[in-house]
Chains A and B, each alone.
Chain A
Amino acid sequence: MESGFLPRTRFQTLLDALHRAGYRCVGPRVRDGAIVYDTLTRAEELPRGMRDRQAPGRYRLEQTGNPRFFSWANGPQALKPFVFAPQEPLWRSERNASGEIRFAEISPPAERLAIIGVRACDLAALRLQDRHFQEGVVADSHYAARRRNLILIAVHCTHPADTCFCVSTGDGPRATQDFDLALSELDDGYLVQAGSEPGRELAAQLTLTRATAAQREAAAREIEESAKSQTRRLPSRQLRDALFANLEHPRWNDVAERCLSCGNCTAVCPTCFCHSEAEEPTLAGDHSRHLRLWDSCFTQGHSYIHGLTIRADTRTRYRQWLTHKLGSWHDQYGRSGCVGCGRCIAWCPVGIDITEEAAAICGGGTHG
């Protein structure tokens, strides 16, 4: 695809073009010791020179002094919170003086959002969330409204963390789908490639120079090296049969002894979609809001059915997570639910490594 070059000194023109088109820009910013997505108005707010060091249960940032804005691997958030809200009201109900109850819709949000710096693994995860939330029998109106109003500026990943394994899941480090623009970051600027009609319109508003062959080669080489630098991997992209053949494997007890059943892995997972619902009545009892909240297969409520908790212990909860994510997801969505982002490894408070657990249960090495 035809691509142009945007010098780093003119990065602000991209933000300006998005603002003119009515988008709020969200991009990587340093907050509380991590790179998070937050509102971005000026290019100077980007995490220039910041590099992350990630290991099981550990994440630290350091300043390298290099001029790049995107020389880091993903922080704790994915695109998930921007489309599948962590907590939102779905409808409200009112009871009048004669006791009649009326239900009212709460309008889905309509903010236009541009997300800058999106990685290939998160685009793959968004594809899976699209399958779940809006390509089934009934589309989720709140998810669909947010999704419709997104414009996605991807950046090919050249700085994977030690916890990354997107190569083994086939989801990165090059962004290949579902972006509007994709950027390759070089020392002095960006190769800009459009992936959609809105992306082409946006690129047309930037003053791009023609990309040279040397720039294209440098960009391709960086992505290739990024792929080679990944050391973690899942034993296979298809682990369903191996997992379901090992439901009584002793490793489930072993991991249950370490696992906190805290649900952090599912909260940072860009594809996990489980939620609970709750009613929030006023004290007077005449109004109520019905809420949807992120839930997790690690909670007791997740397997509570009419007086019975099916998965009371951590062993069965961890097993549910792994056998669904890497196993029965194939039957539901035609592929594994893991995109290799490695967040569940870094953000597990006790550092449980999904690639190690999968290898222990299914066989096959973790470090390739």
Chain B
Amino acid sequence: MNNARPRIAVHKFASCDGCQLAFLNLGEDLLALAQAVEIVHFAEAGPVDPDAAVDIAFIEGSISTPEDAERVRRVRANSRYLVTVGACATSGGLQALRNFADAREWLAAIYAKPEYIQSLATSTPISSHVKVDLELWGCPVSGRQLLAATRSLLFAVPPWYEKDKVCLECKRHQNVCVMVAKGAPCLGPVTRAGCGALCPAFRRDCYACYGPAENPNAESLARRFEGLGLMPEAVARRFLFINGAAPAFAEAGLKRRGKPHD
């Protein structure tokens, strides 16, 4: 029976490890997961076998070094399904802010010997390098998303994933809209659901950590933020944040910041 268990791996690229914690924080479900699958590589949890062939590879983190650009190809070649978890792996993450600046200048400003640091000029999502079968958004992702994706793949059915706006979840929870009732520059109307409208439930505005929803109208929302009194740079910073490199957000943000550096 054990031999028939699907094999999974959890790989880390440029990231903070928070999405891997979504696995480790599963509680009792982690035991159920360990019975349902064989975890062959998950360095943060113990097992290390990075080149093992697996049924599902979960990838946390973005591609920001030449070595990682190579390594992700090996992971793809060894995996039946490849699932990205979190903002870094799915859109390039917070570190993709450097895509809109001169990354070498930043290195020189911070490190005494920047010549020892080998990193790419940009931080890019996994899908810019290899074929991705499923993208789980979030900063971090939730255990619920990981379990739902795993369960679907074990059932051999197409995974159901959130693509609607946060507003749908927010209204299902009967939260009072922070934008309409407080004038807060909430990104919920362009952001992908899945978090349970966590921030608006605590009366603060969504900052889009789950990335763009399907069919987002970031330009209209950006104009509304200007109407609420935000200066163009403040509007730009709303969009150019955790998922700033996602095209829909980059477009609305950069338009208000001016042209990016060459």
A residues near B (Cβ < 8 Å) are 31-34, 36, 57-60, 75-77, 81, 86-87, 257-264, 267-268, 278-279, 281-285, 293-296, 299-301, 312-314, 346-351
Contacts and interface: CB of A to CB of B under 8 A. Distances in A.
B172 A294 contact: yes
B251 to A, nearest CB: 15
A275 B176 CA distance: 21
27 contacts: A31-B176, A32-B175, A32-B203, A33-B182, A34-B181, A36-B176, A59-B181, A75-B176, A81-B174, A86-B172, A258-B217, A260-B217, A261-B215, A262-B190, A263-B171, A264-B167, A264-B189, A267-B168, A282-B151, A283-B36, A283-B151, A349-B167, A349-B177, A349-B179, A349-B221, A349-B224, A350-B224
Residue with the greatest number of chain A CB neighbours at <10 A, chosen from B35, B154, B215:
B215
B155 interface: yes
Contacts of A314: 215, 217
Interface string B174-192: 1111111111001011100
Interface string B184-224: 00101110000000000001000000000011110011011
Contacts of B182: 33
Contacts of A285: 36, 151, 154-155
A77 B174 contact: yes
Q: Which 10 residue pairs are nearest across A and B when measured between Cβ atoms?
A: A267-B171, A262-B189, A86-B172, A32-B176, A260-B189, A33-B181, A262-B167, A34-B176, A283-B32, A262-B165
Residue with the greatest number of chain B CB neighbours at <10 A, chosen from A60, A284, A294, A349:
A349
B220 A258 contact: yes
Given A294-B171, A299-B168, A347 B160 contact: no
A281 B160 CA distance: 12
Contact of A259 (B163, B174, B176, B220): B220
Nearest to B36: A283
Given A295-B168, A296-B164, A300-B214, 11 more contacts: A31-B176, A59-B180, A86-B174, A259-B217, A262-B190, A267-B171, A299-B164, A301-B163, A312-B215, A349-B180, A351-B224
A238 to B, nearest CB: 30
B29 interface: yes
A31 B174 CA distance: 11
A347 B177 contact: yes
B196 to A, nearest CB: 11
Interface residues of B, number: 42
A152 to B, nearest CB: 19
A350 B190 CA distance: 12
B147 interface: yes
B132 interface: no
B14 interface: no
A279 B177 CA distance: 28
Interface of B: 29, 32-33, 35-36, 147, 150-151, 154-155, 160, 163-165, 167-168, 171-183, 186, 188-190, 203, 214-217, 220-221, 223-224
A77 B179 CA distance: 16
Contacts of B164: 263, 296, 299-301
Contacts of B29: 283
Contacts of B175: 32
A18 to B, nearest CB: 22
Contacts of B186: 349
Residue with the greatest number of chain B CB neighbours at <10 A, chosen from A75, A86, A260, A346:
A260
B174 A36 contact: yes
Nearest to B165: A262
B172 A347 contact: no
B161 to A, nearest CB: 11
